[in-house]
Amino acid sequence: MGVDPLHLRQVLSRYPTGVTIVGTRHLPSGVCGLTVNAFTSVSLEPPMVLVCVDRSSNTHGCIEAAGEFSVSVLALGQSDLAVRFAQKRDDKFDGVGHRLSADGLPLLDGASAWVEARVEAAFDGGDHTVFLAHVLRAEQADEPPLVFHRGSYSRVDGAAGSAEPARER
């Protein structure tokens, strides 16, 4: 007895997620990347994040080979990049504004935030690999983030809610 994948996708679409581009070096030279919404903070001490990457993606092998990746948290107005990087193509970065970090990891121009991380462990996650990584560097901008909810892109309205995150007691 299982859950139909299309039904599960519809149910999970009720949970809003951020939209990121995960990128890395592509040897011998170049970069590769893909759209990822399965990205989260794991720990502040030590600083760790995780990303879930589809094994069939072109970028999966690049992350395994490089052992490091970058995460560009897309800003409002960058949904075209989310669509572009979700496609299977080799020219995803062509004409896309980005810079390379000191480690050669791609960081997209105009993003809301950036993280660079070194893979510490990889776990089987069905048709995905869960990459657990130690954060090496992190930056932020003043741009509001892009959000994916119920099959479409939207914005976060920061006016509602508390300025401080809830803490478990």
Tens digit of each residue's pLDDT (9 = 90 or more) over 23-70: 999 877 789 999 999 999 999 999 999 999 999 998 999 999 999 999
Q: Give me the mean pLDDT over the 113-121 stretch.
A: 98
List Cβ neighbours of 124 (8 Å cut-off, separation of 6 or more).
Answer: 130
What burial class does residue 48 get, using C-beta atoms within 10 Å of its C-beta: 0-12 exposed, 13-18 middle, 19+ buried?
middle
Question: What pLDDT was estimated at residue 149?
Answer: 84
Query: C-alpha 151: how far from its chain's center?
Result: 17
- Kindly provide the b/e burial profile for residues 124-149, where b requires at least 16 CB atoms within 10 angstroms of the residue's own CB: eeeebbebbbbbbeeeeeebebbbbe
Tell me the whole-structure pTM to 2 decimals.
0.88
State the pLDDT at residue 78: 96
Straight-line distance from the first to the last Cα atom of the chain, in angstroms, rounded to the nearest whole number:
38
Among residues 28, 43, 20, the alpha carbon closest in space to that of 115 is found at 20
Measure the CA angle with vertex 141, ends 136 and 144; round to 5°.
120
- What is residue 163's predicted lDDT score, i.e. its pLDDT? 44
Q: What pLDDT was estimated at residue 161?
A: 47
CA distance linking residue 133 with residue 62, whole number of Å: 15
Comparison of pLDDT for 12 and 74, the residue scoring more: 74
For position 157, what pLDDT does the model report?
Answer: 65
DSSP state of 28: S
Across the chain, mean pLDDT equals: 90
- More confident of the two residues 153 and 53: 53
What percent of the chain lies above the pLDDT cut of 90? 73
Contacts of 18 (CB under 8 A, 6+ apart): 37, 39, 73, 74, 145, 146, 147, 148
